[in-house]
């Protein structure tokens, strides 16, 4: 999850785009059918512990430029025997609001052990959860890499921490992880950067296209 920490005055002037999905947004489940899709916020397997508002179907949607760039990444990964496993793409603003409501309910800590074991919940707003997310601009993706095992099953590469674990262990350049784990993170980073994506240093899985096609617009159409 990308976290853009913004003051109330700044938030007030950021345009919020309602209405249907724009014509230049692409359903990646169709445009990139060979990827593995594990859209966590459609399910209860996420840090909120329930399906997130705005996710009506388990789809990855991206703005067209980001979609083409991700297709490039998938091609390069395939040349190394790898597949992309995608956790989240475009995220409606209503979903971000759901995150904020959850974060402000300090009595609900039933997912703490899995997602923020070393942080108190009141420390999540800011670097991890905020009132605006880069995902809502349509050119940010959360993902990892997968490789086939000896039985032909696609398994995630060992990245040292799971997706959406709010912890220093998830920092891309964390110095305490193993050499293999660091190499896996670096491989993902190199593949993504080769297509124009930039990593959010606190989360090894989080990448945004640079420059952003919609740098100042936050969309709110549902994922469906």
Does 110 carry a binding-site annotation? no
- Asked if 203 is an active-site residue, the reply is yes
CA distance 71 to 67: 6
3-class secondary structure per residue, 118-151: CCCHHHCECCCECCECHHHHCCEEEEEEEEECCC
For residue 222, with 0-12 CB atoms within 10 Å meaning exposed, 13-18 middle and 19 or more buried, which class applies? middle
User: Around Cβ 177, how many Cβ atoms within 10 Å?
Assistant: 21
Among candidate residues 139, 116, 129, 147, the one with its CA nearest the CA of residue 195:
139
CA distance 101 to 190: 35
Q: Out of 72, 79, 156, 203, pick the active-site residue.
A: 203
- Residue 193 has which token pair? 């950067």
Does 88 carry a binding-site annotation? no
Does 98 carry a binding-site annotation? no
Distances from the Cα of 145 to the Cαs of 35, 76, 137, 156, 200, in angstroms? 10, 12, 24, 6, 17
Distances from the Cα of 55 to the Cαs of 52, 61, 72, 182, in angstroms? 6, 11, 26, 32
Q: Residues annotated as binding site for Zn(2+)?
A: 135, 142, 206
Q: Residues annotated as binding site?
A: 135, 142, 206
Catalytic positions: 203
């Amino acid at each position: 999850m990308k976290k853009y920490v913004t003051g109330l005055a700044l938030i007030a002037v950021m345009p919020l785009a309602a209405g249907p999905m724009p014509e230049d947004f692409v359903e990646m489940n169709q445009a990139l059918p060979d990827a593995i899709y594990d859209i966590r916020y459609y399910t209860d397997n996420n840090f909120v512990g329930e399906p997130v508002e705005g996710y009506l179907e388990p789809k990855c949607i991206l703005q067209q430029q980001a979609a083409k760039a991700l297709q490039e990444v998938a091609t390069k990964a395939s040349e190394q025997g790898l597949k992309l496993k995608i956790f989240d793409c475009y995220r409606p603003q209503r979903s971000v609001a759901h995150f904020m409501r959850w974060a402000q309910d300090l009595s609900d800590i039933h997912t703490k052990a899995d997602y923020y074991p070393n942080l108190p919940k009141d420390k999540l707003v800011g670097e991890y959860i905020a009132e605006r997310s880069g995902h809502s601009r349509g050119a940010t993706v959360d993902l990892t890499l997968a490789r086939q095992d000896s039985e032909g099953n696609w398994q995630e590469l060992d990245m040292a921490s799971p997706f959406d674990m709010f912890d220093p262990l998830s920092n891309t350049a964390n110095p305490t992880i193993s050499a293999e784990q660091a190499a896996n993170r670096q491989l993902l980073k190199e593949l993504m950067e080769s297509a124009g994506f930039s990593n959010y240093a606190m989360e090894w899985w989080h990448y945004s296209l640079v420059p952003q096609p919609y740098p100042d617009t936050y969309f709110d159409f549902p994922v469906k």
